[in-house]
Structure 1
Amino acid sequence: MIRRLSRLRIQVTCWPRYALVLTDTPNPGCIECEGDGGFEHDYGDHNGEYAGTDWEPCTCWNEQRRWLLLPLPHRPRWLRRCGIDPWGPSGYSDEPPF
């Protein structure tokens, strides 16, 4: 049971709502994927040129396994800084001394 719990991680999610969730991670001791969680397969088009990469998940990991720990409140609109760079002209100065 302890080995199983060591694979769980806390993560912040923003869809469908901001929340802290507990997620499963790949088994680091898996002999098939060597802890990567899956396999990449490159494929080509009809001319033999590279066209992309497919991802096939390993059986040691379920990407969809998540448990909700704590719903997080939305930040008030006045705290959101959409489109404003805090280090830009409306934020802090980049002139010496910093």
Structure 2
Amino acid sequence: MLRLRIRLAHWPRRTLILTDTPRPDCPDCDGEGGHNRDYGDYETGEYAGTEWDPCHCWDENRRWPLLPLPRIPRRHRPHADPWGNGYNDEPPF
């Protein structure tokens, strides 16, 4: 059974997508969709990173694009000081 939701994807372009979600009553992942697993360096045993192990209750690659969103151009403000913080430091303060 699919548990669908709408999400916003940013790559390669902003798009609304329909995606599957983890099963909320899954006994293996408790609805999280997987587990983080820390691992260490083989020689020293020090922390080397974290890997994500997805759960079998969902497919994180199952998604369908619904609607590409338009690119909104940024407004150019020629009168704004690029080094300023938006406040005027001229008297009176």
How high is the TM-score relative to the length of structure 1?
A: 0.68
Aligned length: 83
User: Equivalent residue of 2:35, what SS?
Assistant: strand
Look up the equivalent residue of 1:70 and give its one-letter code: L
Query: Which residue matches 2:17?
Result: 21
Higher Rg of the two aligned structures = 2
1:39 aligns with 2:35: yes
Q: CA deviation at 1:89?
A: 2.4
Q: CA deviation at 1:21?
A: 0.7
Larger % of helix: which?
A: 1
Taking only aligned residues, the RMSD between alpha carbons, in angstroms, comes to: 2.8
Partner residue of 1:66?
63
Percent identity between the aligned chains?
58
CA change 1:33–1:18 in 2 (3 A) is same
Consecutive aligned runs of 4 or more in structure 1 exceeding 3 Å deviation: 78-81
After superposition, what is the alpha-carbon deviation per residue over 1:40-59, rounded to whole angstroms, capped at 9, x for unaligned? 22211121212111111011
Runs of 5+ consecutive residues of structure 1 not aligned to the other structure: 94-98
TM-score, scaled to structure 2 = 0.71
Where does the alignment leave 5 or more consecutive residues of structure 2 unmatched? 88-93
